[in-house]
Structure 1
Amino acid sequence: MEKPVRIILTGGPSWAVVPDIWEVASLEDEPKVKLLCGNAYEHFEFLGSYSLHEGEQLPVYRWCRRTYVAE
């Protein structure tokens, strides 16, 4: 089993509590991620950019949209 890839999450609404760092199985398997924040999902997408975080070059996933949980 491969080691998870640490990623940086950036953007989105200021009130949403989203971690700065997240883990995905791989960039190929998870080019998009969605996180549950209250009654909505915040969606992030990898667009090919990287940033230095604590000495490690990490992929940056940028916020792209929000969808709401169906009741």
Structure 2
Amino acid sequence: MRRLVVVLLRGGPDDLPRVQEVPADEVDGRLSILRGNGYEHFEFTEEYDDFDGEPAPVYRWSYRTAIAE
């Protein structure tokens, strides 16, 4: 079973949830979140913010890519 980590997202599309659970092995300097027909890309800010009493890494939106057909 893959362990999930809560991350906080800043910026990007307004309809994207700001709190995401992602597999722990995917948490590094960059995240790619599937949305519609593409991916929203986020970069780690090297900051942590409180989420339910625990520190959660903060990622800032950087760009979007489309899925190739």
- TM-score bucket of the superposed structures, by smaller chain: 0.7 to 0.9
Identity of aligned residues (%): 43
Partner of residue 25, structure 1: 24
Q: CA, structure 1 residues 10+24, in 2 after alignment: closer, same or farther (shift >3 Å)?
A: farther
What 5-or-longer segments of structure 2 have no aligned partner? none
CA contact (8 A) 2:48 2:57 kept: yes
TM-score under structure 1 length normalisation:
0.72
What 5-or-longer segments of structure 1 have no aligned partner? none
Count the aligned residue pairs: 67
More helix by share: 2
Alignment of 1:9-20 (within 5 A): 9-14=9-14, 17-20=15-18
User: After TM superposition, what 4+ stretches of structure 1 lie above 3 angstroms from structure 2?
Assistant: 1-4
More strand by share: 2
Alignment of 1:19-58 (within 5 A): 19-22=17-20, 23-26=22-25, 30-31=27-28, 32-58=30-56
